[in-house]
Structure 1
């Protein structure tokens, strides 16, 4: 089975899925093989229950009479199908990556552009070598734009994802101390993320540039076409302000107040607003979209309950984002407790970076500092250093946090959101 032969069948499908639990009528199911489960074993069952086709990578399961097709690699076929589908699409593709803020920025861009266009975008955090193809394959004839988030923790991954998605516009949110182990240090992060710039430059596509970021300006110097924001001389110039804990931006005297906390979200708002203005959306509609957007994904999410304010930022953590979160949280009025979890994938820099964050937390003078994870426990002699969330839960059962403001910030693997019901 080759891509050209299969493509007409793909065009008839409702959706493409790799999740055996979510197969619906008229779907195409890619039966991936795993350590604990070979999805090809349910290929015929999927067809009997209404699937349009199943792709398997074990020849013994092929049954072309039932639209069960063998390929040497389901992953390769998925990626190649996405590349072929992308070649048939003429709508603008916006690609973005970065160390921090990718998902929030993607959702803000989607919210703004949806004021005028039918936009398909990356669902959740499906931003890897499987998620990006799935997003592209979800694009239907009615879609007018696509926003593709690309994540990476090693060199060459953004290069590969750019080759699949072929963005017409690209934005790197920032360059931070994330995935240092995989990238080989901070310079490796810059090189890896800049693979998006390399693709855009080589294909004469448009780069969105935050001109307040010296790395972005250096990497795009003398390049055209660009869409710029951040300075008075930029294409779009916004001013930052805040109301209570929430960050906002103003443009030509009009103000938009988001439901996001932290000055670091200002550039995310600017990127979304700049793209909206570039694509002919009035700032009145941009303001509406930015103010309506409500974070619900544990990223800079503010929850108020019983007179207390809780900031949930438990989906990702690295030294850059942790520093920004602590510096933002210290500005909140009233007593403050922070619960910070390990920052993962830092390699040889881990001990030093955890020490730095712990020192910053102490210097900022929070009322209570609780750390979670073996990396923080190794550098924190306090009785409030716990090795895992289960230990914290046991502590919280007998020691209710009294602070008016509580911050939860840690890497996904620490799962600090499990503490919410005990706070």
Structure 2
């Protein structure tokens, strides 16, 4: 089975999945296998559930008469199918990467563009070497524009993802201290993320640039195909505005408020508004789209629990995002508790970065600092330093937090959301 032969079958499918539990009528299942399981064993079961086809890399389960096809590698076939499909699409595709704010920015951009276009975008955080081809394959003939999020934790990964998504416009949210271990330090982060710029420049495509970011500005200074925002010399100028804990932007005479907290979301909102204006989305529709977007994914999310205000930012954390979260939380009125969990994948920089964040938190004069995870525990010698969330839950059962405002910030692996019901 080759891509050209299989493509007509793909065009008849309803969706592409890699989990046999998600198979529905018309699905194509890519039966990925691991060390401890052989997903090809689920091929007949998937067909019985209504799958249109199954791709397996175990030849003994193949049966072409049943549309169960053997390929040497399900991953390579998935990626090649995505590339072939992308070559048939003639619509703008916005490629998005960065150290912080990718998912929020992606969702804001999609919300804005959806006000005018049938828009497809990356679902959840399907932004890696499997997620990006799945996103590309989810773009159907009715879609008029798409937003593809691309994540990376090592060199050359963005380069590979660009070859599948082939963005026509690209944006890097920022360059932060994320995945330092995989990238080989901060300079490695800049180099790795800039692979998006390399692709766009080599192919004569557009770059969205935040002119307030000196790295973005320097990296694109000699490139002419740009859409810029942020300064008086940019294509679009915005002013940061605030209402209670929420941030927004003012464009000319229009005030656009969001349901997001944190000055760091000003850039994310600005990027979405800039792309909306570039694609001629009416300003009132942009305002409505931003105002009607509510974060539900533990990213810059505010929840009211009785007389307490919770700021939930537990999906990801690195030194850059941790710093701006703490800085933002300082501005909240009333008593404050910060609960910060370990930042992962920092390699040799881990102890230094955890100590730096702890020192900054102490300088903010919060009423209470609680840490979760062995990295913070190694530098915070306090009864408020916990090895894991289970230990913290037991403490909360005995001694609840009384302060009015509570910030939760940690890497996803700490699972800090487990304590929310005990606050």
Say yes or no: TM over 0.5. yes
Name the SS for the 1:379 alignment partner.
Answer: coil
| CA positional deviation for 1:232 | 1.1
- Aligned twin of 1:202: 202
Matches within 5 A, 1:231-242: 231-242=231-242
CA distance in 2, matches of 1:48, 1:333: 58
- Aligned twin of 1:341: 341
Name the SS for the 1:65 alignment partner.
Answer: helix
- Aligned twin of 1:116: 116
- Aligned twin of 1:24: 24
Matches within 5 A, 1:26-41: 26-41=26-41
TM-score by length of 2: 0.99
| CA positional deviation for 1:261 | 0.3
CA distance in 2, matches of 1:399, 1:126: 39
CA distance in 2, matches of 1:48, 1:357: 53
| Residue 161 (structure 2) pairs with residue 136 (structure 1) | no
| CA positional deviation for 1:49 | 2.2
Aligned residues: 423
Name the SS for the 1:162 alignment partner.
Answer: helix
**1:347-396 Cα deviation digits (max 9, x unpaired):** 00000000000000000000000000000000000110001001001111
CA distance in 2, matches of 1:46, 1:230: 50
TM-score by length of 1: 0.99
CA distance in 1, matches of 2:231, 2:110: 24
- Aligned twin of 1:300: 300
CA distance in 1, matches of 2:224, 2:272: 20
- Aligned twin of 1:65: 65
**1:12-68 Cα deviation digits (max 9, x unpaired):** 011110011110011110000022321100111211221110000011111001000
CA distance in 2, matches of 1:401, 1:134: 43
CA distance in 2, matches of 1:102, 1:41: 36
- Aligned twin of 1:368: 368
- Aligned twin of 1:179: 179
- Aligned twin of 1:276: 276
- Aligned twin of 2:384: 384
Structure 1 residue runs of 4 or more that deviate by more than 3 Å after TM superposition: none
**1:92-114 Cα deviation digits (max 9, x unpaired):** 00000000000000000000000
CA distance in 2, matches of 1:289, 1:418: 31
| CA positional deviation for 1:254 | 1.0
Name the SS for the 1:69 alignment partner.
Answer: strand
RMSD: 0.6
**Unpaired segments of 5 or more residues in structure 1?**
none
**1:221-256 Cα deviation digits (max 9, x unpaired):** 120110000001110000001111000100111101
- Aligned twin of 1:263: 263
- Aligned twin of 1:90: 90
- Aligned twin of 1:149: 149
Name the SS for the 1:240 alignment partner.
Answer: strand
